[in-house]
Structures are given as C-alpha cells and as structure tokens.
Amino acid sequence: MDTMIGVIGGSGLYEIDGLEQAQWVTVNTPWGAPSDAILTGVLGGVKMAFLPRHGRGHVHSPSTVPYRANIDALKRLGVTDVISVSACGSFREDMAPGDFVIVDQFIDRTFAREKSFFGTGCVAHVSVAHPTCPRLGDACHEAAKDAGITVHMGGTYLAMEGPQFSSVAESRMYRESWKADVIGMTNMPEAKLAREAELDYASVAMITDYDSWHPEHGTVDISDIIATLTGNADKGRALVSRLPALLGADRAPCPHHCDRALDYAILTAPDARDPALVAKLDAVAGRVLS
C-alpha cells in the first residue's frame, strides 16, 4: 500500500515548500461537504493531502466543522495517516506558548456534534482506549525535534465545545482535578471518527496560551493567540515537511492495528443492516462491509 499523509490544520499549513503536482480537489461525501476543497500533491515522493479544518477564511466554528465529511473525504482520497495540527491552551507551566505537544489521550467534553459514522441499522463499537497511533506520534515527535521545536511527548487533551473559552473555575478544575495537560475545541470527535475509518491518527497540539488558570497571564486574549499562531504555523510547516522522509512512500500495516479497528466492531447482523446506511459507509467501512 502507498502512504498518503493527510494533514488537517489551519490556514498556512498547506503552504509547504516543494509540494509537487499541487491541486485543489473537491470531494463529495454522503455526509455532506467537507470544510473545504482538499489540496493534494506529492512531497518527497510521498502523496499528501491538506484540509483546512475551518475552511479557507475560517468560516466554520469548532461546533460546525463537518467532522464526518472531513474524515470520509480523506479516506475516499486514499489517505492512510492523518496528522491533526491544532491550536490549544496549556494547563502546565512547563508546556509554554510556542511549544508543541504530541497528544496521546483525550477527555471529550463536546456535546453538539455527531460523533460516529454508525448508528441505527448498522451499530459498531470501536476502541479508543488509545485514541492516537503511537507509530505516527513518534514520527511527529521526531520531526518536531529535527525542526528545532520544543516538543513534549504525550499529553491529555481536554476537548471542550466552545466557541467561548473556559471560565477560571473550569480551567482550574481541568488542570487540578482532571489532570489534563492542554485544552482545545477541535480534536473531538475527529479522533474517534478517524479510528472508525481505520485511519492512523496523530494529534499535534500547538500551544498558544495558558488558558485562564495562570495567575500571571490573566485570561485568554485572542490577539495574543493570533500572534503566537503565526510563529506556530511556521513550525507546523517545518514539522509536516519532515514527515515524508520518516514515514516513507511504502506503507506497512499499522503495528498497533489502527487500520484494522473494525475487524470485530460491527454488531448488527448482515441481514439486519440498513442498506442506506451501509451505502453511506462505503469509504469508511467498505473493507469489512463489502
């Protein structure tokens, strides 16, 4: 199988030097339109796809991002490995603005989003005990170090609904009682859907602020975030540009079985499955439903 790296990120992360055969591709999915067209190309001999999570011009809020359409579109294009790059706040003094965190756990506090491709007529339960792929996370960690980025390996990401930032009370609870490391609004249900679609998924959290718990930094200020985001985008491009050499063009099966997550997940008997839902699952679950 050929490797195809899919990067879901913000504006600027698809402006990678050396991207060949670049073209914007419109992908139709049974889950609606994705956030935007997808920029495809080849970098270092490896196929790439770049999807602006909020759309070019930032038109989608965290709650309205079409997460199912985004993951389906990437799978439909042939993506094998998804790198999520997103801004976040930090709950840890040593995880400072400008640092990156390779997330390996989530606490999902979102509530206004569709979180599964499956449902009535085709029920499935996948494991997200370990919601990110260690192989892919290791590659992101190595790429970040090689790019000179201060990067932390491992961390728990608290996914909040937004679009408002946390109250001080919430921020302190997430930090002190729940022991979360970073906070963001977009990695859930993205990571869960990637697992259902049997895509390897890694989360690169780019820290922009200390949320609102830090007594010396005050509340979150969007102008400070934007200033930090600009520098983080440069670092994010540097990280992504190093991934093709680390992952290679020829992809072996995932040693952690991320690409076989549906092997025993579907519970609905074949003769009881809803044909309309099964048809919508052609890209996501075609391997086990066909």
| Residues designated catalytic | 209, 211
Q: Is 12 left (phi over 0), alpha (psi -120 to 50) or beta?
A: left
Torsion of CA 264, 269, 273, 279, to 10 degrees: 40
DSSP SS3 for 212: coil
**Position of tokens 């994705």?**
34
Distances (CA, A) of 153 to 145, 181, 206, 247: 10, 11, 13, 18
- Please, is 274 exposed, middle or buried when counting C-beta atoms within 10 Å of its C-beta (0-12, 13-18, 19+)? middle
